[in-house]
Amino acid sequence: MIHESQISLAFAVALIVTLALGPLTIPLLRRLKYGQSIRDDGPSRHLSKAGTPTMGGVMFLVGTVAAVLFAAWGNRDALVVLGVTLGFGLIGFLDDYVKVALKRSLGLRAREKLLGQVLLAALLGALAPTVLERGTAITVPFAALVVGESVILDPGPWLYIFFIIVVTVGVANAVNLTDGLDGLASGVTVAAAAAFIPIGLLVGRPGVSLAMAALIGGCLGFLFYNRYPARVFMGDTGSLALGGGLGAAAVLTGSELALPLIGGVFVLETLSVILQVFSFQVFGRRIFRMSPLHHHFELMGWSETKVVVTFWLAAVGFAILGLIGFVTG
């Protein structure tokens, strides 16, 4: 059984380990010349970031692993969330490695990345109903508030697996799209992950709460080095891992439909890209000055810090909204 003290311990261990890894990891990445390349068509102020060490997501991944193993060794739910996080992180690591070490600017082929993510998500979806004792029921947020009683959907095992693939792969890539400004993705993830701590406790899966506390500690430790002006970027190693972890937490707690609310900033970032591409392809016009959405505000004249802090605050609001939606589902 997980106690509240273990959840706090996981947070502290991840925070301390990640902070301690900074002075070791950042110089190593710099010596290896694992630097970030910058889009030529992006905001001009970003050009100065070229060469900043990337793949820094390994820092908070190591911190998260240490925290979960130290505070909750043997807890199945915590280890499952950790495993999915590391699995998606490995895909991101390979993508980053191909970019910065093998000098293939596009990294892994899109279908290679997608295949790996789909297989991981499908495995999670297949194990959840039986081995993980999750079942296939899905809670509809706000249902009790709107219609006076809870509404539970049960798509059955095969549709459920497909649903889990969409949810988990979707959130992983949404976090990846959000990782475009110093401290943005890590800060927004902190808010989203925080919502899953009470959710995990509420549904009797404290291991999920502990894993999320560890992820928060790792993100905050990383944020010390990733805040503006960033000394290191998380890379796909970090962003895909964070999304995978959030997806796994939603699956284990039955809050998959609340996840788009909890991670509302990620949804808005993704929608901005989809709408931009659709509008340009169909009408030959762009809706936003640039997508994802954070770049639109930059090109409107907002400072990077203003955009990031605004999105952090929005993330807190969405997390609270999603939590309320799940509780009243």
Q: In angstroms, how far apart are the furthest CA atoms of the chain? A: 60
**278-314 residue pLDDT tens:** 999 999 999 999 999 999 999 999 999 999 999 999 9
* CA–CA separation, 9 and 15 (whole Å): 10
* CA–CA separation, 119 and 305 (whole Å): 37
Beta carbons of 211 and 241 less than 8 angstroms apart = no
* CA–CA separation, 193 and 9 (whole Å): 16
**Residue 232 in 3-state DSSP?**
coil
State pTM to two decimals.
0.96
What is the arithmetic mean of pLDDT over 162-191? 98
Residue 265 Cα to chain centre, angstroms: 11
**65-107 residue pLDDT tens:** 999 999 998 899 999 999 999 999 999 999 999 999 888 877 8
In what helix (H) or strand (E) does residue 153 lie, and over which residues does it extend?
strand 152-153
In what helix (H) or strand (E) does residue 240 lie, and over which residues does it extend?
helix 235-253
Contacts 24+ apart (CB under 8 A), 195-202: 195/262, 195/319, 195/320, 195/322, 195/323, 196/246, 196/249, 196/250, 196/253, 196/255, 196/262, 197/7, 198/323, 199/249, 199/253, 199/255, 199/258, 199/323, 199/326, 200/77, 200/249, 200/252, 200/253, 202/327
Can you give the pLDDT at residue 35?
86
Can you give the pLDDT at residue 42?
66
Local confidence band at 144 (pLDDT 50, 70, 90 cut-offs): confident
**Is the pLDDT score of 40 beyond 70?**
no
**Residue 53 in 3-state DSSP?**
strand
* CA–CA separation, 24 and 20 (whole Å): 8
**Residue 8 in 3-state DSSP?**
helix
Local confidence band at 238 (pLDDT 50, 70, 90 cut-offs): very high
Q: Count CA atoms closer than 13 A to 171's CA, side-chain side.
A: 33
> How would you label 173-209 residue by residue, b for 16+ Cβ within 10 Å and e otherwise?
bbbbbbbbbbbbbbbbbbbbbbbbbebbbebebbbbb
* CA–CA separation, 174 and 188 (whole Å): 12
